[in-house]
A and B are shown apart, each in its own frame.
Chain A
Amino acid sequence: MIECKELTKQFGPLLAVDNLSFQVSPGEVLCFLGPNGAGKTTTMRIIAGFLPPTSGRASVCGLDVESHATAAKRRVGYLPEGAPSYPEMTARSFLEFIADARELGGAKRRARLDEVYGLLHLEPVLEQTIDTLSKGYRRRVGLAQAILHDPEVLILDEPTDGLDPNQKHEVRQLINQMSESKTIIISTHLLEEVDAVCNRAIIIAGGRILADDTPGNLEARSRFHHAVSLKPADPSQLQALRGEIEALPEVVETELDSKSERLTAFFSDRRLSLRTINELADNRGWELSELHLESGRLDEVFRTITGGARA
């Protein structure tokens, strides 16, 4: 459980976080989305207890992060931006140090260490010093450090940055596995990540919350929501098809993506869109290599929402 109330952080003249209030409950995976400098990292740093807020308060599992700092920190696993770690240490000695600092002892310590080595596939690099590790391994050592004590709350600042697609997939699976019992906040620039791991997304820009919704509902705000995209088997027919579709009274406009040779039609009544195109294609005997109903495009929603705030 994470609770932020009217959280504000000012760095000199810069208002980094502006009156943020939100709550995250166990089972929720909240994704912070926002342009660079939006205040995502600052907010996460405040919750993790690294920065004190200028005003407002944050609490973790009911513990105020300022007045009960140590108790709150025990319940949080935190991956800082860029996954910093001590370059001269081996991965093993680094994680042993974290286990010491988190006072993991006895059988639990051994079991947890072995478990995170396995979960993040660290066995081959345990004896290597961290400065010799690839970016992907460093990030995984950082993640291992964050989940080592099996915390109730996880705060992960760009957990998949620098990972290859396979590693990204694995980390997302890991987050999904842990999400049932934990409260998780992640930040990301990768919009596909929102669909892959989050059940809630907050879009931040200029330190303010601009949208707080499920990924599905955010996608529904897109003008692509329930638009129909199609691709003829024979690309030369594209213009002819476009003409016929535009002639339909229900169609507001069409867009042609020349790169993918895909045509997208926008409807005045979104509910009928796919059926209308289907019927038309059937009547005319079009051969299509692709036909689908768009669920909405998060990148477009993101640009629309944050574009105005930047100006």
Chain B
Amino acid sequence: MNGVTAIMRRELQGYFATPLAYVFIVIFLVLAGWFTFNFGNFYNGGQASLAPFFNYHPWLYLFLVPALSMRLWAEEHKTGTIELLMTLPLDVWQSVAGKFIAAWAFTALALALTFPIWITVNYLGEPDNGVIVAAYLGSLMMAGGFLAIGSFVSATTNNQVIAFIVTVVICFVMLMAGFQPLLSPLVGWVPLPIIDAVASLSFLTHFASISKGVIDARDIIYFALLIGTFLYANVLVLHMKKAG
């Protein structure tokens, strides 16, 4: 069996060996429902659509994904198991990939468990299920982006609280990159193309188009590149830490 699978299996076992998995899934489902019905006007909207549900995913992930990712590497550094992991005959990228895939698969599970709301909307009306599938895909890609950032931050520290806070901040900036309050300090002294480039990094814009059912290759590539970049940085950080 190959190294990535070994790490992935261990990680997943770890989630379910502690209350972490259950607490995370329950809170995710409760919050997802609560946002949808309280703020999303799921019923009053009068539309058979899951838009009120997906609109709040970025904000859910902003706090829940860093809670999941903060321990990925910080805990290994703290407990010294990093020494065990790094002296197994595995490449660093295999460990990084294994951990990331496990965390992503776990988020996918939590996301999949929201299926009752999809059944509900199909029971109540006739939604466009193609749009819903696209939105689920977009949501999963976005979760992957958050996780890759979180995994990278976790590798830089052995303090999980720091990892959590820094990840939330970076993810918040990534979410809001396209919006006025974040861009206005740049206006005037930074060249316009750069401001455009910053704005185009926003999670929200890319997620919004996918969740409307428009699967644009550029949005998928954006998230794939984001994940790839942060995981690569994650590998580099681990190498740098090793070199002392």
Q: Which residues of A contact B (CB under 8 A)?
A: 11, 45, 48-52, 70-71, 73-74, 76, 78, 80-82, 84-89, 93, 97-98, 100-103, 105, 129, 145
Q: List 14 A-B contacts (CB under 8 A).
A: A50-B242, A73-B88, A78-B84, A80-B84, A82-B80, A84-B83, A85-B84, A86-B79, A87-B79, A88-B14, A100-B9, A101-B7, A101-B89, A103-B1
The answer, yes or no, to whether B91 is at the interface (CB within 8 Å) is yes
A152 to chain B, nearest CB (A): 13
Bound-complex Cα distance A223 to B7 (A)? 54
Bound-complex Cα distance A71 to B88 (A)? 10
Q: Which residues of B contact A (CB under 8 A)?
A: 1-3, 5-7, 9-10, 13-14, 17-18, 79-81, 83-84, 86-91, 242-244
Contacts of A100 in B (CB 8 A): 1, 5-6, 9-10
Dominant secondary structure at the B interface = helix
Q: A49-B86, A52-B242, A84-B83 are in contact. List 9 more A-B contacts (CB 8 A).
A: A11-B244, A71-B89, A78-B87, A81-B80, A86-B81, A88-B14, A101-B3, A101-B6, A145-B84
Q: Which of A11, A76, A85, A97 lies in contact with B6, CB distance below 8 A? A: A97
Q: Is the CB of B87 within 8 A of A98?
A: no
- Of all chain A residues, the one with the shortest Cβ separation from B15 is A88
Q: Is the CB of A84 within 8 A of B79?
A: yes
Bound-complex Cα distance A229 to B179 (A)? 87
A175 to chain B, nearest CB (A): 19
Known: A52-B242, A52-B243, A93-B13. A84 touches B81 (CB 8 A): yes
Bound-complex Cα distance A80 to B90 (A)? 17
Contacts of A88 in B (CB 8 A): 14, 17-18
Q: Is the CB of A70 within 8 A of B14?
A: no
A83 to chain B, nearest CB (A): 9
Q: Is the CB of B91 within 8 A of A70?
A: yes
B106 to chain A, nearest CB (A): 15
Q: Is the CB of A101 within 8 A of B90?
A: yes
Contacts of B10 in A (CB 8 A): 86, 89, 97, 100
B187 to chain A, nearest CB (A): 43
- Of all chain B residues, the one with the shortest Cβ separation from A10 is B244
Contacts of B83 in A (CB 8 A): 45, 50, 80-81, 84
Contacts of B1 in A (CB 8 A): 100, 103, 105
B17 to chain A, nearest CB (A): 4
Top-4 shortest CB links A-B: A100-B6, A84-B80, A73-B89, A80-B83
Bound-complex Cα distance A216 to B109 (A)? 62
B217 to chain A, nearest CB (A): 36
Bound-complex Cα distance A98 to B81 (A)? 12
